[in-house]
Amino acid sequence: MKIDGVININKPEGWTSQDVCAKLRNRLRIKKIGHTGTLDPMAAGVLPVCAGKATRIIEYYGRDRKSYHASMKLGLVTDTLDITGEVLETSAYADVSEKAVREAFKACTGRVSQIPPKYSALKVDGKRAYELAREGKDFELKAREIEIFSNEIARLDLEAGEIEFDVTCSKGTYIRTICDDIGRALGCGAVMTGLVRTASGFFTIEDSAGMDELLGIIGAADGDELRESLSEFIIPMDETLINLGKIALNDNRVIAFTNGNSTRKGGYAVTEPSGYDELYRVYGKYPEGGEGPAFLGVAAIENGELIPQKVLI
């Protein structure tokens, strides 16, 4: 089945992000498919899945802000920084005050330095960090700067040592590490016990589709009927690139653009500014006719010249 677009999946807990892609690839018989922003198996929530030509735009989601609803338990430290790991330490938390918790959350807001967990998919000398950790290898991951735009406590039960919070952050932020950092600041340790991604750039959990729903539709229809049933879930790729600006290309430059040729100033007009390295969604008339402007691809502006980066028509 031919699909060019993005599906906003609500990934179930217990599935890997690759599980979702593999299941859709097999059931829909599509070759090109990939996800943006890996979610750990214990996490659920928003997982944008790109199919067909949309796999070529995955790199442009890099600056999308991501939002999560998370829960944590005080008094524990594990090797994975979440409740699924091996317990390394237990501590009392009876003396932890609400004021101290709120101060710890405040300290984990803004631009902060964060060390990724060793049980992560980051590569160290060509091998995944979690593979090295499982083998008991000794290695270090470098701290990196991330940005936490908001970090608000949603529920606080100090008697049970349980905290729920909502966080919006930049790419590369590990919520498990936030829990661990807060636990260390409080002197009792803490682990993540649950995680739901509620938004990722354009995509929100309210507009996401469950895997059971999608697989039910796929199993109940075929051919044109299946295509029509799935159409409401397939989002045009250009709509999702909210960090890229917009450009209207002159009619006489469309063929040149689709052939990968650049266009000088005067052959295009910027209709929306870019928030991502002067990258733009380019629109123009359909090369072979058709109504309305077509999404032609992505281009950069360098010294006033429009240079194609991805031709997608």
Closest CA to 39 of 200, 212, 202, 215: 200
With cut-offs at 50, 70 and 90, classify the pLDDT of residue 62. Answer: confident
Confidence of residue 311 (pLDDT cuts 50, 70, 90): very high
pLDDT for the residue numbered 241: 96
d(CA 174, CA 88) in angstroms, rounded, equals: 20
Question: Which residue, among 242, 239, 313, 236, has the nearest Cα to 279 in the 3D structure?
Answer: 242
User: pLDDT grade, residue 119 (50/70/90)?
Assistant: confident
**Same fold flag, 5-62+202-239 and 66-200:** yes
Does 160 score more than 90 pLDDT? Answer: yes
Q: Which of 62-71, 135-144, 250-259, 265-274 has the lowest mean pLDDT?
A: 135-144
pLDDT band at 289 (very low <50, low <70, confident <90, very high): low
Residue 286 has a pLDDT of 81
pLDDT in tens, 166-186: 999 999 999 999 999 999 999
pLDDT of residue 229: 87
- Is pLDDT above 70 for 99? yes
Q: Report the alpha-carbon distance of residue 227 to residue 295 in Å, rounded.
A: 21
Residue 36 is encoded by which pair of tokens? 């943006």
Q: Give 140's pLDDT tier (boundaries 50, 70, 90).
A: confident
Q: What is the pLDDT of residue 135?
A: 86
Domain ranges for the chain = 5-62+202-239, 66-200, 244-311
Q: Which residues pair with 248 in a beta bridge?
A: 269, 283
User: Does the pLDDT value for residue 201 go beyond 70?
Assistant: yes
Confidence of residue 291 (pLDDT cuts 50, 70, 90): low
Q: Is the pLDDT of residue 25 over 80?
A: yes
How many whole angstroms from its chain centre is CA 97? Answer: 34
SS3 string of the chain?
CCCCEEEEEEECCCCCHHHHHHHHHHHHCCCCEEECCCCCCCCEEEEEEEEHHHHHHHHHHCCCCEEEEEEEEECEEECCCECCCCEEEECCCCCCCHHHHHHHHHHCCEEEEECCCCCCCCEECCEEHHHHHHCCCCCCCCCEEEEEEEEEEEEEECCCCEEEEEEEECCCCCHHHHHHHHHHHHCCCEEEEEEEEEEECCEEHHHCEEHHHHHHHHHHCCHHHHHHHHHCCEECHHHHCCCCEEEEECHHHHHHHHCCCCECCCCEEEEECCCCCCEEEEEEECCCCCCCEEEEEEEEEECCEEEEEEECC
What's residue 136's pLDDT? Answer: 85
Query: pLDDT grade, residue 301 (50/70/90)?
Result: very high
Q: Collect all residues with Cβ–Cβ distance below 8 Å to 236 and sequence separation of at least 6.
A: 5, 6, 295
Query: What are the C-alpha distances in Å from 111 to residues 100, 147, 151, 197?
Result: 20, 4, 12, 21
Is 80 exceeded by the pLDDT of residue 292? no
Q: What pLDDT is attached to residue 252?
A: 92
Q: In this predicted structure, what is the pLDDT of residue 169?
A: 97
Are 198 and 69 in contact, with CB atoms under 8 Å apart?
yes
Q: How confident is the model at residue 228 (pLDDT cuts 50, 70, 90)?
A: confident
**C-alpha to C-alpha distance for 172 and 37, rounded to whole angstroms:** 9
- Residue partners of 59: CB distance under 8 A and separation at least 6: none
Q: Return the amino acid letter for 53.
A: K
Active-site residue identified among 19, 40, 64, 166: 40
17 φ/ψ angles, rounded to the nearest 5 degrees: -65, -35
Which pLDDT band, with edges at 50, 70 and 90, does 122 fall under? confident
**CATH classification code of 244-311:** 2.30.130.60
User: Cα–Cα distance between 285 and 248 in angstroms, integer?
Assistant: 9
Mean pLDDT of the chain: 93
Query: What does the pLDDT look like over 272-285, one tens digit per residue?
Result: 999 888 899 999 98
Would you place residue 97 in the very low, low, confident or very high pLDDT band (cuts 50, 70, 90)? Answer: very high
Q: How far is 211 from 109, CA to CA, in rounded Å?
A: 33
Residues 65, 197 contacting (CB under 8 angstroms) = no
At residue 296, what are phi and psi to the nearest 5 degrees? Answer: -90, -30
Architecture of domain 66-200: 2-Layer Sandwich (3.30)
- Angle between helix axes 17-28 and 211-220 (nearest 10 degrees) is 10
pLDDT at 182: 97
pLDDT, mean of residues 111-115: 94
AA letter at 5? G
Catalytic annotation present for 224:
no
The domain 5-62+202-239: what is its CATH number? 3.30.2350.10
What is the predicted pLDDT for the residue at 166? 98
The answer, yes or no, to whether residue 288 has pLDDT greater than 80, is no
